[in-house]
Structure 1
Amino acid sequence: MTAITIQIPDSVLPVLHLDPAGFVQEMRLAAAIKWYELRRVSQEKAAEIAGISRADFITALSLAKVSPFQLTEDEVREELHDLY
């Protein structure tokens, strides 16, 4: 596993009411959700990045108001059209 070190101002953690471990977990989840939303990673890979199960990642997507589906509205229509 690769370790990455980032520096943040000392004032950030108290504002967010997080300890360093909580901050890392939230950063991993936020990055995973955003990369999933941008279609850069699959649900499985995003869950791995976040360090949670796929089911928990889908729940996190819902809480973040991000669709668990990577199809656009037009793609869904096209697939439905192909069924009939």
Structure 2
Amino acid sequence: MAHQAWSWILAAVGITGLWLAGSGRRAGWAIGIASQALWLAYAVATSQWGFLASVAGYGAVHVRNWRRWRATEHAPPAP
């Protein structure tokens, strides 16, 4: 039953982060990046080591996209 709770928590956190990021909210990126710690804990707790690759991959993509979003947010307006 504990595995079921993990699934729902991870889904809720991930969807919340994506929703907020897609709405242009900085908190979305922070949640997406921080959620990788939850995935890391899940991978270790359940001995599902393949999730470690997704933690690295999703974490890198979240950071990349946040940096790109931040660069466009702070870019000077076009003439």
After TM superposition, is the score higher than 0.5?
no
Provide the TM-score with structure 2 as the length reference: 0.42
Structure of larger gyration radius: 1
Provide the TM-score with structure 1 as the length reference: 0.40
